[in-house]
Chains A and B, each alone.
Chain A
């Protein structure tokens, strides 16, 4: 029987004694390369319980256990280092960029609020917030410096704000400058994400738009994971809190997760959102799969989605009636919905739980799924 070990090939007798061996050189670099090949081959695996170390020592391949261990240590360390350095995929880069963008959004929000309050003491009449305010302050500082050609010149002259001492001005100006540079970084990140997502997942970008597409990819942990999700999962990604509440207690199921930010859903009237979310999620999962497995652009996906949404809108032009009307509606559709829907409730919940667990382990370092939305800028959207 032939057995492949990391140090070479052994020929074993049926009782497990070593009869002959063909050894590789003891050069760690060469051994590492062999180990990569051996990981891929499924033949000549050591039989269950076979002690490679003991056998190789008894046969005299290594002088001592220490030699075996130190060479193996060098091999595994080298191999793991190579694997780690190769591990960064395009998806990972996009995910980092998306998360950096979320961080920047959070930071710019709180910093611009601070600037608004701070500069408001000195010049409350600007009527500016966010990026325009930051660039205004960075440009002029004290309201006395506002140029006569600026539309705010008149207001600056008659402002009721307090004086701004020089030391404060320097501080607040520098603060505004940092804020401006954060806004610039944000733009840069957005451009990067749009570009790289369009190359990586053209159909997803077409259907979802670059930012939503990138967020979906980021929450799934990569395109290959996203493509493996059923569309019902894609529909509620990002609504973890609501979903688990639904699975554990009697809360209503969430209709949409982060796909709520898609204009088709958030501009739709409330009684259509669930239906449109389902249609959109179905097409998004198709898009992700096409992107992963073929990569060619399929504009007809978008056409079909739009046609479907059009049909939904035509079919339900008015909101469903309340109370008595709802009862009638329920009994009408009960055969349709209750049969498969209710019966599968439990099993469906279970598979989702497993799905999440898998997903989580891929997105290492995150906390358990139900605490996750706290770190998610999209929290609450799905409820």
Chain B
């Protein structure tokens, strides 16, 4: 906490938070006061708390698979009424479909080899048509031997082509020097040609 000229500021460490790094990397983070956010890979809630600050009139659905991390997250959710903690596997959105409903933004930071598929599955079920996907891809959890650049290329292609819905990538930048071998992405659901007409 910092106090400057009577205003209270919270310190947001870009080295601990992918979203924080994205902000510094000049991503236009599409969070508004009343956004409803599905946060996949909430971990112990460092970044979740910042998101919860921003969406003061909205809500964060914080999905985390590890009970150990959820233990810390629960303390946070106890204090912050706009965080809805969900202990579940982000790869199986049908298990929390009855809780979440539609969201404006999906933020995903999971260290799984099928990160792109998880993002697509959740977007298909929850993301509003005009909503955004914010994604942090971790090269090391996809392939430890290939070069990160190659991994990113493949994953972006997967997001654009392989799954339903297909995404339109608005911006992609590596999150170095804050996070090594991570790619930050912002994407939208691509509207297919015949739907446009």
Contact = CB atoms under 8 A, between A and B. Distances in A.
Interface of A: 4-6, 35, 38-40, 42, 45-46, 48-54, 69-70, 72-73, 75-77, 79-81, 83-84, 87-88, 244, 247-248, 346, 349-350, 353-354, 356-358, 360-362, 364-365, 368-370
* Interface pairs A-B: 3 shortest CB-CB: A52-B101, A87-B67, A51-B102
Contact of A358 (B87, B112, B124): B112
A365 B83 CA distance: 22
A349 B74 contact: no
18 contacts: A35-B98, A46-B101, A49-B125, A49-B126, A52-B98, A54-B102, A75-B99, A76-B61, A77-B78, A79-B86, A80-B73, A80-B74, A84-B70, A84-B74, A84-B87, A248-B144, A357-B113, A368-B140
Contacts of B124: 48
Contacts of B144: 244, 247-248, 353, 356-357, 369-370
Contacts of B127: 49
A74 to B, nearest CB: 9
Contacts of B101: 5, 46, 50-54
A364 B110 CA distance: 12
A80 B77 contact: yes
B113 A80 contact: no
Nearest to B66: A364
A51 B180 CA distance: 37
Interface string B64-75: 011111110110
A131 B70 CA distance: 41
B81 interface: yes
Given A80-B87, A83-B67, 17 more contacts: A4-B98, A42-B94, A45-B98, A49-B126, A49-B128, A69-B59, A70-B81, A75-B99, A76-B99, A80-B85, A83-B70, A248-B144, A346-B145, A350-B145, A353-B113, A353-B142, A361-B141
Contacts of A35: 98-99
Contacts of B68: 364-365
Interface in B1-25: none
B47 interface: no
B85 A5 contact: no
Nearest to A5: B98
Interface in B99-135: 99-102, 110-113, 124-129
Interface of B: 36, 59, 61, 65-71, 73-74, 77-78, 81-88, 94-102, 110-113, 124-129, 140-146
A76 B84 CA distance: 6
Q: Is the interface of A mostly helix, strand, loop or mixed?
A: helix
B177 to A, nearest CB: 17
A45 B100 CA distance: 11
Contacts of B125: 45-46, 48-49
A12 to B, nearest CB: 13
A72 B98 CA distance: 11
B69 A39 contact: no
A69 B128 contact: no
A76 B102 CA distance: 16
Nearest to A364: B66
